[in-house]
Amino acid sequence: MNNFNSTNRERRFKAHVSALGTTQLHLRNPYIIAWWSAAFPGFGHLLLSKYLRGYALFLWEILVNNMANINLAMVYSFTGNIELAKEVLEPRWMLLYIPVYIYAIWDSYRTSVDMNKVFLLAEHENADFNSYTIGAVEVNYLDKRRPIMAIVWSLFTPGLGQLYIHRVLTAIFTMSFIIIFVYFSNLLVATHYLFLGEITQATQVLDPQWLLFIPSHVGFSIYDSYVNTVENNKLYESEQRKFLKEKYQQSRVKIPVTVDEVK
């Protein structure tokens, strides 16, 4: 059940609240979106709430990167082993990686610019939208939450920050893949050896091919949860402001003035 039904007269909505989360338009820096696509293809589109496109590019990155050993080659090149980096690269997969990587950056930048224009039009129209939904499995509504808490929970486990602000799809996606990355990189095993003081063994058990996925994944979770918490708070204030104006400021209130105050 929702608290708003469209009259089909509105041309653009700036937000939609559903059981799976709150999707909204807001101004974004296209260069930041493009940067996240460069850090990990798909992240830029996920920040734009382009989920299907983002998931497709994300899965492509994992598949082709692993088959081409790109992360492993990066580790060797960072440590000065250039010849070893050349040996581990698989050219049949690496050449497939380049065009899609460039496309992810270009398309996220282009889409961000377009969506900024759409947001300005939707903001000007300021059409009503659903701000509360209740169903058999979930309840979602607009309210104000603390951005710092979104950061803290994302630091504990990527995806918890998204759950905090009810971005269910992104939360499930982020939490699922952090489990995969941590498991195949042997990060927790290395941490266990590190606590025991066995530094050499901790280094040896790490799989750099999977380990290099984690920093971008954690960074994305923190940034996405923080930005969306801030924007959700702005959306809540905007919706409340419009509601109060329409319900309680329909006529001008005249304040009586005494003769002494006029003098």
User: For 185-204, what is the mean pLDDT?
Assistant: 92
Residue 16 banded pLDDT, cuts 50, 70, 90: confident
More confident residue, 5 or 51: 51
| pLDDT at residue 121 greater than cutoff 70 | yes
* CA dist., res. 8 & res. 75, Å (int): 54
* Mean pLDDT value across the chain: 89
Task: Tell me how crowded residue 111 is: count the other CB atoms within 10 A of its CB.
Answer: 19
| pLDDT at residue 112 greater than cutoff 60 | yes
H/E stretch holding 18 reads strand 15-18
- Is the Cβ–Cβ distance between 67 and 86 less than 8 Å? no
Which pLDDT value is given to residue 37? 96
pLDDT tens digits, one per residue of 198-256: 999 998 999 999 999 999 999 999 999 999 999 999 999 988 888 888 877 766 656 56
Residue 3 banded pLDDT, cuts 50, 70, 90: low
Residue 47 banded pLDDT, cuts 50, 70, 90: very high
Distances (CA, A) of 179 to 214, 218, 260: 10, 12, 73
| Short-list 235, 233, 215, CA closest to 223 | 215
21: which strand partners?
18
User: For 175-196, what is the mean pLDDT?
Assistant: 94
